[in-house]
Structure 1
């Protein structure tokens, strides 16, 4: 059974399809042949605007983690031979501070299904029983449903495909490097958390993992990823001024 034929999934995809087609038609007088690509950008901005409250929660969580880092390091030293006790004391510390070690994960969790929907919209020729006209849309001569890895494996890589995907990937990597440089102190502050070494490694990987994902997904989804990482960088810079993270001091 095709999962896309499951009524709730089909209805979700059809609604997303109608929204994107409506946006593309509205933007066509301005963007011309790139109207669908611009619609992806507008959709991304709308989603990120809706998620601003979760971004604020994430900034508060970063501030809390930095403030608690010295106490967490002290717990690590005190209970380094009793990991179960250390875990209990860590959770008690977060409870006393009315905080959570998992706070701030909402933006990633919410956007994962959205990227999945965009991916599906530009992958399947039929949506909810009707032809998928989005597959005919292009950006600078490159189909929005084309992926770089897919084009390479089929031997259909052209100069426009290489150029468009190259620009998208370079921009994603540039944003990742700027983010890494600006927020490295925040990652270092997380090392006071149990498992902080693993958190640091994972944070470093995630900065560049988006570029790896963009190699495999359709161009439409890669555009979504580019806009969302750029938005995230700007939003974090703005919120850092509102919720500054003070350098942690050892205790």
Structure 2
């Protein structure tokens, strides 16, 4: 844990000539970008997997007609088809799952006053007037919505709303222009993991808006990670699924 603290501090020292008092915040954005770069090959693989699943839809439609009266046989046949074509219905979940440790690490570090028995100096850093270890409720208590820290959060909320709107429109446009990609959400009937993927896919256009809640309740440092990662995802999807 202390290694991560020193890494963020090193990044902050590196960026201090450009960002001054907000260097630690810039370091978190840089850290997030590095994490996303590491995960990017999996994101590319997930995009290829979704396109491959979309390409299988005519064959899956034929299986639905053939096994219309036998849902269990239909599910088995679809799974066999995915196995034969080496297409995983869960591949799209991997990029998000692998980012969770980095998010929770930031959350832990910026919600502890001491790390490894030493004072956590990262909590003294700020983004403009907002301490990186505080949340939106702290900003409201210290100056209100239009105080210095409150304005920082209003800026973050504006960015998240803009990114979420872009992501929503992108998802709707993708579904409209490629119905087979939308149908890929339904290629595994039944409950369990397949049902979970199905449900997540259907609410995906709205999920970016949930980021507003996350940004409001977590420490500002973790919120910066979420905002940066969400913006990266929106741009990445626009490029990979064009």
Asked if TM exceeds 0.5, the reply is: yes
- Contact (CA 8 Å) 1:176, 1:208: kept in 2 or not? yes
Worse-superposed segment, 83-92 or 214-223:
83-92
SS in 2 for 1:105: helix
Contact 1:147 1:219 in 2 (8 A): yes
Distance in 2 (CA, whole Å) between partners of 1:145 and 1:225 is: 15
TM-aligned CA deviation for residue 141 of structure 1? 0.8
Aligned to 2:51: 63
Q: 1:209 to 1:80 in 2, by over 3 A?
A: farther
- Distance change in 2, residues 1:80/1:160 (3 Å): farther
Residue matched to 1:156:
142
Relative to structure 1, is the Cα distance of residues 160 and 69 closer, same or farther in structure 2, using a 3 angstrom cutoff? farther
Q: TM-score, normalised by structure 2?
A: 0.85
Gaps of 5+ in 1: 1-12, 242-251
C-alpha separation between the residues in 2 aligned to 1:140 and 1:226?
17
The structure 2 residue matched to 1:92, chosen from 80, 101, 106, is 80
Counterparts of 1:170-181 in structure 2, within 5 Å, are: 170-181=158-169
TM-score scaled by structure 1?
0.82
Q: Deviations over 1:109-147 (max 9, x none)?
A: 110111000111110001111110011111111101111
Q: Say which of 3, 11, 18 aligns to 1:23.
A: 11
User: Is contact 1:69-1:191 (8 Å) kept?
Assistant: no
Q: Would the aligned equivalents of 2:185 and 2:202 in 1 still touch at CA under 8 Å?
A: no
**Which segment is superposed worse, 65-74 or 213-222?**
65-74
Q: What is the rounded CA distance, in whole Å, between the counterparts of 1:70 and 1:199 in structure 2?
A: 23
Report what 2:210 is aligned to. 209
- Partners of 1:230 and 1:100 in 2: CA distance: 26
- Name structure 2 gaps, 5 residues minimum: 176-180, 190-194
How well do the aligned residues superpose, as a CA RMSD in angstroms?
2.1
Q: Is the 8 A contact 2:49 2:91 kept in 1?
A: yes
Higher mean displacement: 166-175 or 130-139: 166-175
Matches within 5 A, 1:2-21: 13-21=1-9
Counterpart residue number, 2:28: 40
Q: Runs of at least 4 residues of structure 1 off by over 4 A?
A: none
Cα 1:140–1:53 change in 2 (3 A) is same
Any idea what the Cα deviations from partners look like across 1:153-200, whole Å, max 9, x if unmatched?
A: xx3353122211121122112112211211223463334423486244
CA distance 1:106–1:232, shift in 2 (3 Å):
same
**How many aligned residue pairs are there?**
227
Mapped partners of 1:80, 1:148: distance in 2:
52
Question: Which residue in the other structure is 2:183 paired with?
Answer: 189
